[in-house]
Structure 1
Amino acid sequence: MEYCNCSQCETPLTGKRYVLRQDQPTCLPCYEDKFANKCEKCEKAIGTDFKDLSYKGRHWHEACFLCWGCQNSLANQQFVAKDTGLYCPDCYDGKFAQRCDCCSNTFKHGMQKFEYSGKKFHHECFTCSECSEPIGNNSFVPKDEGKLVCMPCYNEKFAQKCAKCNEVLLQGGVTFRENAFHRECFLCTGCDTELANVKFATKDDQPYCPDCYIKTFAKICEKCDQPIAGLGQATKYVAFEGRQWHADCFICQKCEKSLLGQGFLVCEGQVVCPDCGKNM
């Protein structure tokens, strides 16, 4: 029979329980006094008759491994560490978890959270103020009083729309008479030519390309039979008894002398200078 003594106090260990530590036998009193882990809660040694529960270098008796809030056992349960304390999920949420700025309920561990303008929301609380549907990770537009509007609702109810096709203007267009148009929708009233970035004329609040405006509305010169029009600049012309002439075309129909600033006569429907009129 082999005989051995405690490596610490030399007490004979024959027939007794002991702990073999680093290949050296140690009696139970010496082990608990010198080597056993101390419990974080009761500060007593965790002897060989007790289960040693550990977390990040700290140790507890199984009976001492409790939630710091409700004092329920955390053995074989999920827990959350906060500073030096350990908490069951419910106590942690109630004591430390952030709260939704809409419903004031806590964000439980692992729960999805949305943040906007310094506020935090549950998925079901981060909603469109118009349709009440969750916005999630989709685009939205902030409105007055902190309201948020999802893009479908914004486009339907608030977005600027084209005066011609009534579709939403997603980027820069053309403004005419306080109405907005897509560039491809701003067309000549006469021929549907696109008018964006080109000169155009207006008549009765309708836009026209130069050709259509001249063709439809311009006065015709009595002499050259061409339209009297000067889009974008003043055009000099002479009007008399419902008839019009370009300034350069207002000449005596006999001698072709300019009549601008001169007296003239109308003889047999012809405009002539006084000298030619005497001979008619």
Structure 2
Amino acid sequence: MEENYHKEHLACHNCDKQLVACRYIVKEEHPYCIPCYQQLFAHNCDECGKPIGPDFKDLSYKDRHWHEFCFKCCGCQKSLVDQPFASKNDKIYCSDCHDNNFAARCDGCGEPFRGGMKKFEYKGKQWHDWCFVCSECNQPIGNKSFIPRDERVICVPCYESKYAQRCSKCGDVINKGGISYKNTPWHRECFTCTNCNKQLAGEKFTSKEEHPYCGDCYGELFAKRCCRCTKPITGIGGTKFISFEERHWHSDCFNCYKCDASMVGRGFLMNGEDIVCPECGRS
């Protein structure tokens, strides 16, 4: 405001009231008496509805205004001056009242999630950091891996200790890639021939007294032997064989000793340890 007013010219810009020896406020370089200033420029308090005059601090939030003494939580009436607060449905709340009335709640303890709290979510439920715990040991899971079981969450050490399948050979937990044979679990690399330790996963094998053997070892250790070629008759892979008087032949080896004709499904004669067709037997 220009400072060249004569005393008799210092008057309210709105009502012309003389301002000599009176309090006044300058707005956009014009003097106003207190009543006119409040009427024209002061904000009305959102709480009490009265003007917020020059003698009061004007607190504002989103185009709303309050006297300092009216800026209170609508729940507990605690002053919010210099305090954190939140707005809901055009009302202001202290942090505690807002969280208690409107914040999401933990599915573990039922208490609200307050500002800054870490939240864990799983299958539409949510927990505080300290409430998201293993159902076996009750230790917080945090960012560690867990395994769901029957609507519960279990940390990996507890799951492995109580529920995980273990290899029948080495006893360690089978995390992936295991196989089952006769309802017994194995690591793929542990499912080996009992005799030579050859890996049997994806290979043809058989068993003896519940122990697995590769075809070669089973044949060498347990199989009957062909009377002609002396090789084992394992039966693995659908190999056919013929038995007669406690003697055994591969189907492909059951031939006439003299003419080599197959005797499978035909009559034959014994010539000592050998078999012969009827024609060769008569010659």
Q: TM-score, normalised by structure 2?
A: 0.86
- Pair 1:57–1:265, CA change in 2 (3 A): closer
Distance 2:67 2:175 in 1: 66
- Answer whether contact 1:248 1:258 (CA < 8 A) is retained: no
Identify the residue that residue 110 of structure 1 maps to in structure 2: 116
Distance 2:47 2:204 in 1: 87
1:52 counterpart = 2:63: no
- Answer whether contact 2:134 2:154 (CA < 8 A) is retained: yes
CA deviations over 1:16-60 (Å, ceiling 9, x no partner): 211110011111111011111111111111111111111122111
Distance 1:257 1:17 in 2: 136
1:13 counterpart = 2:1: no
1:99 counterpart = 2:105: yes
Deviation of 1:6 after TM superposition, in Å, equals 1.1
- Secondary structure at the counterpart of residue 121 of structure 2: strand
The root-mean-square deviation of aligned C-alpha atoms, in Å, is 2.7
Match of 1:160 among 137, 153, 165: 165
Distance 1:116 1:252 in 2: 75
Which stretches in structure 1 are left out of the alignment for 5+ residues? none
Question: Once structures 1 and 2 are overlaid, which stretch shifts more, 56-65 or 220-229?
Answer: 220-229
CA deviations over 1:35-92 (Å, ceiling 9, x no partner): 1111111111111111111112211111111110111211122222222111112222
- Pair 1:71–1:229, CA change in 2 (3 A): closer
Deviation of 1:119 after TM superposition, in Å, equals 2.2
- Answer whether contact 2:252 2:262 (CA < 8 A) is retained: no
Distance 2:39 2:173 in 1: 81
- Answer whether contact 2:44 2:66 (CA < 8 A) is retained: yes
- Answer whether contact 2:107 2:127 (CA < 8 A) is retained: yes
Distance 1:278 1:26 in 2: 147
Identify the residue that residue 149 of structure 1 maps to in structure 2: 154
Letter in 1 for 2:148: P
Distance 1:118 1:36 in 2: 49
Identify the residue that residue 248 of structure 2 maps to in structure 1: 244
Identify the residue that residue 209 of structure 2 maps to in structure 1: 204
Question: Once structures 1 and 2 are overlaid, which stretch shifts more, 123-132 or 165-174?
Answer: 165-174
1:214 counterpart = 2:219: yes
1:2 counterpart = 2:17: no
Deviation of 1:163 after TM superposition, in Å, equals 1.7
Distance 1:53 1:161 in 2: 67
- Pair 1:29–1:215, CA change in 2 (3 A): same
1:175 counterpart = 2:158: no
Distance 1:135 1:125 in 2: 9
Question: Once structures 1 and 2 are overlaid, which stretch shifts more, 258-267 or 104-113?
Answer: 258-267
Aligned pair count reads: 275
Among all aligned residue pairs of Structure 1 and Structure 2, give the percentage whose two residues are the same amino acid.
47
Identify the residue that residue 198 of structure 2 maps to in structure 1: 193
Identify the residue that residue 238 of structure 2 maps to in structure 1: 233
Deviation of 1:191 after TM superposition, in Å, equals 0.4
- Pair 1:276–1:55, CA change in 2 (3 A): closer
CA deviations over 1:124-179 (Å, ceiling 9, x no partner): 211111010111232222222x3211122112211222221222222232221111
- Answer whether contact 1:252 1:259 (CA < 8 A) is retained: yes
Q: TM-score, normalised by structure 1?
A: 0.86
Distance 2:210 2:241 in 1: 24
Question: Once structures 1 and 2 are overlaid, which stretch shifts more, 154-163 or 25-34?
Answer: 154-163
1:85 counterpart = 2:88: no
- Secondary structure at the counterpart of residue 130 of structure 1: coil
